[in-house]
Amino acid sequence: MSGKTLYDKIWDTHLVKQRADGTALIYIDRHLIHEVTSPQAFEGLRLAGRTPWRTGANLAVPDHNIPTTSDERRQGLAGIKDPVSKIQVKTLNENCKEFNILELEMNDLRQGIVHVVGPEQGATLPGMTIVCGDSHTSTHGALGALAHGIGTSEVEHVLATQCLMQKKMKNMLVRVNGALNLGVTAKDVVLAIIGEIGTAGGTGYTIEFAGKAIRSLSIEGRMTVCNMAIEAGARAGLIAVDEKTLEYIQGRPFAPHGELWDKAAEAWKCLASDPDARFDRVVELSAEVIEPQVTWGTSPEMVAPVSGSIPDPMTESDETKRVNIEQALHYMGLRGGTPIQDIQLDCVFIGSCTNSRIEDLREAAQVVAGKKVADSVELAMVVPGSGLVKQQAEAEGLHEIFIKAGMEWREPGCSMCLAMNADQLGEGKHCASTSNRNFEGRQGFGGRTHLVSPVMAAAAAIHGHFVDIRELNN
Smallest gap from Cβ 47 to another protein, in A, equals 6
Q: Is 43 in the site for another protein (CB under 8 A)?
A: yes
Q: Which of 74, 263, 330, 404 binds another protein (CB under 8 A)?
A: 263
SS3 for 386?
Answer: strand
Judged by CB under 6 A, the number of residues near ligand SF4 is 13
Pairing label, strands 347-350, 146-149: unpaired
The span of 161-169, 312-320, 337-345, 408-416 binding another protein (CB under 8 A) equals 161-169
Q: Of residues 427-446, which lie at the interface with ligand SF4 (CB under 6 A)?
A: 435-436
> Whose CA is closest to 411, among 74, 115, 119?
74
Within 326-451, strands assigned E span: 347-350, 379-382, 408-409, 430-433, 448-451
Residue of 26, 57, 113, 210 interacting with ligand SF4 (CB under 6 A) = 113
Binding mask 325-354 for ligand SF4 (x = CB under 6 A): ---------------------------xx-
- Residues 121 and 271: their CA atoms lie apart, in Å, by 21
Choose, by CB under 6 A, the member of 28, 184, 190, 418 that binds ligand SF4: 418
* Amino acid found at 138: S
Q: Phi-psi region for residue 76, left (φ > 0), alpha (ψ -120 to 50) or beta?
A: left
Question: Least distance (Å) from another protein to the CB of residue 246?
Answer: 12
Q: Which of 39, 198, 441, 464 binds another protein (CB under 8 A)?
A: 39
Interface residue with ligand SF4, options 136, 235, 357, 465 (CB under 6 A):
136
List the interface residues with another protein, window 265-304 (CB under 8 A).
Answer: 267
128 binds, options another protein, ligand SF4, none, Cβ within 5 to 8 A by partner type: another protein
Q: Does residue 380 contact residue 409 with C-beta atoms inside 8 Å?
A: no
Q: Total residues at the site for another protein (CB under 8 A)?
A: 47
| Binding of ligand SF4 by 32 (CB under 6 A) | no
- The string of DSSP letters for 2-40 reads -B--HHHHHHHHTEEEE-TTS-EEEE-SEEEE-TTTSHH
- Identify the residue among 414, 425, 455, 458 touching ligand SF4 (CB under 6 A): 414
374 binds, among ligand SF4, another protein, none (CB under 5 to 8 A by kind): none
Among 3, 12, 51, 56, contact with another protein (rule: CB under 8 A)? 56
Strands, E assignment, 34-162:
58-60, 102-103, 129-132, 146-149
Give the distance between the most distant pair of CA atoms in the chain.
64
> Is residue 357 involved in binding ligand SF4 (CB under 6 A)?
no
Residue 246, SS3? helix
54: left (phi over 0), alpha (psi -120 to 50) or beta: beta
The Cα–Cα gap between 178 and 212 comes to 6
Binding partner at 137 among ligand SF4, another protein, none, C-beta below 5 to 8 Å by kind:
none
Q: Is residue 361 close enough to count as binding ligand SF4 by CB under 6 A?
A: no
For 97, the enclosing helix (H) or strand (E) is: helix 83-99
417 contacts ligand SF4 (rule: CB under 6 A): yes
- CA dist 118 and 149 (Å) reads 14
226 vs 255, beta carbon nearer another protein: 255
User: Cβ 64 to ligand SF4, closest distance in Å?
Assistant: 6
How many residues make up the chain in this entry? 474
Backbone φ and ψ of 212, nearest 5°: -60, -40
Q: Find the shortest distance in angstroms from Cβ 22 to another protein.
A: 16
H helices of 424-468, where?
454-463
The one-letter amino acid code at 131 reads V
CA gap 211, 417 in Å, rounded: 30
Q: Which residues bind another protein (CB under 8 A)?
A: 13-14, 16-17, 25, 27, 29-30, 39-40, 43-44, 47-48, 50, 53-54, 56, 84, 87-88, 91, 102, 121-123, 125, 127-128, 153, 156-157, 160-163, 165, 253-257, 260-261, 263-264, 267
